[in-house]
Amino acid sequence: MRKTINKISIVALALLVTVSFSSCEATKNANNKQKGAVIGAGAGALLGAIIGNNVGNGKNSKIGAVIGGVVGGGAGVLIGKKMDDQAKKIETEVPGAEVERVDDGIVVTFDENSGVYFDTNKSDINAKSKANLDKLAKVFLEFPDTKIVVVGHTDSSGRDDYNLILSEKRAKSVTAYLINDGVAESRFETLWYGETKPKYDNTTAEGRAKNRRVNLAIVPNEKMVKEAKVEANKQ
């Protein structure tokens, strides 16, 4: 009995240390380049930020493969610094966009209130949206060692099949515009989910407006990861 109790105590202590470490103020306040060394593998938070609900759905394997996992250790710190710099640049150049640093990536969200606007039931990009995408393209050209995932969503109004097609058209419109601005086509993966991945409450007007969105996830490409690992090994 005493041995069993001792084993339980050891496990409990280990869990307590783990929880304390992950919730301590230093980790909470750490910027993303620091978190890269702590979190280790997996990019669930980034996936959730892009597609909203139903993250665990097996149909998300394609986008999960594109995103990859979080790079830990010294390489993660170096990658985090580069992604921090790029996120700050996007915030400066495209003030209308909602920019988040999540895991090793950056999530840029465009909805009806932030940067890229689509008229009701339309997928063409208007003049104001073009201006913001032009600025975003310049940042992508300045930071070439990334992959870009463009994901289209709608709210739950209307037919499922119509919303799926609309989200596809809007995501492809954004991708095509950025490619036309000179960003390499090979950097893009374009996906769409219609109304199936709400991030906000579709029973409210505000929630529906936020669900009518296009997300861009910017993640390190193989070149950036490889170079970061080589540099980290030299330190």
Q: Which helix (H) or strand (E) holds 231?
A: helix 222-234
* pLDDT of residue 235 exceeding 90: no
As for how many domains the chain has, the answer is: 2
Instruction: Tell me, yes or no, whether 8 and 53 share the same domain.
Output: no
Write down the pLDDT at residue 86: 96
Instruction: Tell me, yes or no, whether 119 and 169 share the same domain.
Output: yes
Write down the pLDDT at residue 77: 94
Contact 111, 100 (CB under 8 A): no
Tokens describing residue 183: 């960003």
- pLDDT, tens only, 164-202: 999 999 999 999 999 999 999 999 999 999 999 998 899
**Going by DSSP bridges, is the β-strand pair 146-152/105-110 parallel, antiparallel, or unpaired?**
unpaired
Q: Spell 80-96 as b/e; 16+ CB within 10 A means b.
A: bbbbbebbebbeeebee
Q: What is the CATH number of the domain that holds 164?
A: 3.30.1330.60
How close are the terminal C-alpha atoms of the chain, in Å? Answer: 49
CA–CA dist 145, 124 (Å, integer): 28
pTM of the model: 0.77
Write down the pLDDT at residue 72: 85
Instruction: Tell me, yes or no, whether 144 and 223 share the same domain.
Output: yes
Instruction: Tell me, yes or no, whether 17 and 43 share the same domain.
Output: no
Looking at per-residue pLDDT, the higher value among 55 and 147 belongs to 147
Q: Please, where are the H alpha helices in 94-221?
A: 127-142, 160-180, 205-211
CA–CA dist 185, 207 (Å, integer): 32
Instruction: Tell me, yes or no, whether 14 and 43 share the same domain.
Output: no
pLDDT, averaged across the chain: 80
The residue type found at 51 is: I
Contact 136, 94 (CB under 8 A): yes
Percent of the chain with pLDDT over 70: 78
Write down the pLDDT at residue 24: 36
* pLDDT of residue 30 exceeding 80: no
Residue 224: burial class (beta carbons within 10 Å; 0-12, 13-18, 19+): buried
Instruction: Tell me, yes or no, whether 51 and 19 share the same domain.
Output: no
| Closest to 193 in 3D by CA, of 147, 219, 160, 159 | 160
- pLDDT, tens only, 195-226: 999 988 999 998 888 888 899 999 999 999 99
Instruction: Tell me, yes or no, whether 18 and 106 share the same domain.
Output: no
Instruction: Tell me, yes or no, whether 12 and 95 share the same domain.
Output: no
Tokens describing residue 92: 């400066």
Instruction: Tell me, yes or no, whether 173 and 81 share the same domain.
Output: yes
The domain in which residue 5 lies consists of 1-30
Instruction: Tell me, yes or no, whether 20 and 102 share the same domain.
Output: no
Instruction: Tell me, yes or no, whether 80 and 21 share the same domain.
Output: no
Residue tagged 């300045």 (tokens): 142
Average pLDDT over residues 16-40: 35
Write down the pLDDT at residue 8: 38
Instruction: Tell me, yes or no, whether 94 and 3 share the same domain.
Output: no
